[in-house]
Amino acid sequence: MASIMGRFSMSREIYRTGVSVHIIEPGYFRTTIVDEERLREYFQMRYDTADPEVKEYYGKDYLEGLQETTAKLLGLIMSPKIHKVVDAYEHAVLAKFPKPRYVVGLDANILFRLLWHLPEWLSDYLVSRPMPLPQGAL
């Protein structure tokens, strides 16, 4: 799928060919792509392979805080209803009049949409607020 601007651009480029372009924007769904344990392992691996200066700047507490915060946030917003994404793909491909844009999931339709309309400074504040600070930034 294309980005939002890419969808409009691509749609206009091929409009007269009879081919239509559609975008699917899923929120967070419980899959192996966004798996809590895989994320923990990834964060740990990145920390373990970082340069000593980077490790010193972030500190071990940052790693643990990041792992805990990420698990909590994902636990709150991830949906187990992956069929909603499949349904959107199916509709986009098979419908006689598919939607130009499918925003799938409660988080994508409420949380992310709200963040899109807030001033940058406010959305940055809200998103970064629960995240831990690196040891070197204190």
Q: What tens digit of pLDDT does each residue of 38-62 get? A: 888 999 999 999 999 999 999 989 9
Could you give the C-alpha distances from 94 to 15, 87, 91, 98, in angstroms and in order? 18, 10, 5, 8
Does the pTM surpass 0.75? The reply is: no
pLDDT tens digits, one per residue of 56-115: 999 989 999 988 888 888 888 888 899 999 999 999 999 999 998 899 998 888 888 888
Strands (E), the chain: 23-26, 101-104
CA-CA-CA-CA torsion sign (57, 42, 81, 65): negative
Burial readout 43-71 (b: 16 or more C-beta within 10 A, e: otherwise) = beeebeeeeeeebeebbeebbebbbeebe
For the residues 15-24, what does the mean pLDDT come to? 84
- Among 14-28, 58-72, 83-97, 124-138, the range with the most confident prediction by mean pLDDT is 83-97
Q: What's the CA gap between 81 and 30, in Å, rounded?
A: 8
The CA-CA-CA angle for residues 33, 37, 43, to 5°, reads 90
